[in-house]
Amino acid sequence: MNDRTPNVLFYFVDNLGYGELGCYGGGELRGAATARIDAFAQEGMRLTNFAPEAQCTPSRSALMTGRHAIRSGTHSVTYSAPIGIVAWERTMGDILSDAGYTSAVYGKWHIGNQPGTWPTDHGFDEFYGPPGTYDEVMWEHDPWYVPERDGVGYLLESCKDETPREVKRLTHETKRELGREIVDRSKRFISDAVSAEKPFFVHLNHPLLHAPCEPSAEFDGRSGNGRWADCLLELDGHFGELLDHLESEGVADNTVVVLFGDNGNEDILTDRGTGGYWEGSYFAGMEASLRTPFIVRYPGVVPAGRSSNEVVHITDVFTTLVGWAGCDLPSDRVIDGVDQRAFFEGTSEESARDGFMFWNGDVLYGVKWHHFKMALVDQKYFWDAPVPRAFPRLINLLVDPKEREPYNQDFGHSWTMRHFAQILNEFEQSVAREPLIPMGAPLNHIPGEDG
């Protein structure tokens, strides 16, 4: 195991479909080569079975806390109601801050929009971005929208323990240039941390590929294949720029860089993404909702050139990074993430987990175990109506990757039910020990206590 104190850079991509990047079968087939990301994939480990949660808010919550969002009252995207993780939750920002890291969140936060729930209330030194989702930029072109009556979205900014201040309106134009802004802010933050000789954690939430996908002026027209392909080129270019900055600052060899998505591909028609090999979209139960690209590079610790189809869940990122940073996990709560250091470092060829439960909002959609899946709800795309199943559907993803068959005619696979049942039972036992936090719980709520 590694005993260094690493820097950390997350390149967290909004609505990154499994089939968008060249190293996952996209790239030129999507209109633009992703040369920098593809080269990066050869420098570290690439996962083909990395599972986010189905929506933006729960994925971000799970990443920050190492806990399924259903536990934290953050299981669903909301568009107007006050939301947020309660003060009791311990984020990666809280833990790394206590360990002496300087840390920042740039781009969409989406797990808190009220006092006490901001990134700078949870350990981060800086925050710049929108509190919620990018749908708000579409308001300005809606003929029935009246800003004075219906509200206005803003990009916010704050430092630790400050109330965020409104910097500028969130519009099509400000979203177009937000990627450029947060890359520049990240580079400045990294340089300042290096000068101060402090370890850093930068959580960069890129606004692409979330609709509306509009390239910045710098990349507009560069692909020759339309604005969506221009956006893919921009995503790749910005990532390469950050890698170059780590090199120029002399910290690339001691920085954990992770590129991954928050959920499956976009399903808005004008900016529709692709799950590539897998069917479906975000906000659903098919594999395209349960897999997104994930690449980690940590020179000298994570061997280069590896790929694996072993199961890794987004909660595991929390546990693994906390371990690499030399910090202890919170011992007073349920942590769903498992430590994947041995797997990533190559001392084990197997993941530390064999399955997970998956929800869409607060509805349990099913359970995965290795390459088998038990579906409790059928829903292929975001726009499709969910159909609860009277009896679980068992899917062998090696022989039915498109999830077309209602029942495996040859084998049935009913023996897998004992493994699914074990995962379900372990979760139920954990809920008996620590009740779920309800959505909309007050800031001072503590599971199992009044407040």
Q: How many Cβ atoms are within 10 Å of 160's Cβ, its own excluded?
A: 18
Q: Is the pLDDT of residue 180 over 80?
A: yes
- Cβ–Cβ under 8 Å, residues 208 and 14: yes
pLDDT band, very low/low/confident/very high, at 406 (cuts 50, 70, 90): confident
Confidence band for 450, pLDDT divided at 50, 70 and 90 = low
Task: State the pLDDT at residue 412.
Answer: 83
At residue 408, does pLDDT exceed 70? no
pLDDT tens digit sequence for 104-143: 999 999 999 899 999 999 999 999 999 988 988 988 899 9
Find the mean pLDDT for residues 49-78. Answer: 96
Q: Is the pLDDT of residue 43 over 80?
A: yes
Q: CA neighbours within 13 Å on the CB side: how many for 221?
A: 2
Residue 80: band (very low, low, confident or very high) from pLDDT cuts 50, 70, 90:
low
Cis-peptide into 212, omega within 30 deg: yes
Question: Where in the chain is CATH 3.40.720.10?
Answer: 7-145+153-345
Radius of gyration of the chain (CA): 21
DSSP-assigned beta bridge partners for residue 158: 127
**Cβ distance 296 to 286 under 8 Å?**
no
Does 78 score more than 70 pLDDT? yes
Q: Where does the chain hold its CATH 3.30.1120 domain(s)?
A: 357-433
Least-confidence region, from 58-72, 137-151, 247-261: 137-151
Taking all residues of the chain, what is their mean pLDDT, rounded to a whole number? 95
**How far apart, in Å, are the Cα atoms of 118 and each of 82, 101, 167, 168?**
12, 18, 16, 18
At residue 281, does pLDDT exceed 70? yes
Q: What percent of the chain has pLDDT over 70?
A: 98
Higher model confidence: residue 269 or residue 144?
144
Q: Which amino acid does the sequence have at 362?
A: D
The CA distance from 105 to 98, in Å, is 16
Q: According to the model, what pLDDT value does residue 285 have?
A: 96
Q: Which fold has domain 357-433?
A: Arylsulfatase, C-terminal domain (3.30.1120)
The 3-state secondary structure of the chain reads CCCCCCEEEEEEECCCCCCCCHHHCCHHHHCCCCHHHHHHHCCCEEECCEECCCCHHHHHHHHHHCCCHHHHCCCCCCCCCCCECCCCCCCHHHHHHHCCCEEEEEECCCCECCCCCCHHHCCCCEEEECCCCHHHHHHHHCCCCCHHHHCCCEEEEEECCCCCEEEEECCHHHHHCHHHHHHHHHHHHHHHHHHCCCCEEEEEEECCCCCCCCCCCCCCCCCCCCHHHHHHHHHHHHHHHHHHHHHHCCCHHHEEEEEEECCCCCCCHHHCCCCCCCCCCCCCCCHHHHCCCEEEECCCCCCCCEEECCCEEHHHHHHHHHHHCCCCCCCCCCCCCCCCHHHHHCCCCCCCCCEEEEEECCEEEEEEECCEEEEEEECCCCCCCCEEEEEEEEEECCCCCCCCCCCCCCCCCHHHHHHHHHHHHHHHHHHHHCCCCCCCCCCCCCCCCCC
pLDDT beyond 50 at 1 = no
CATH assignment, 7-145+153-345:
3.40.720.10
Residue 240 has pLDDT above 50, yes or no: yes
pLDDT digits (tens, 9 = 90+) for 318-377: 999 999 999 999 999 999 999 999 999 999 999 999 999 999 999 999 999 999 999 999
Q: What's the rounded Cα separation, in Å, for the pair 68 and 350?
A: 22
The whole-number average pLDDT for the span 155-165 is 94
Does the pLDDT at position 159 exceed 60?
yes
pLDDT confidence of residue 161: 83
Lowest mean pLDDT among 2-11, 185-194, 275-284, 330-339: 2-11
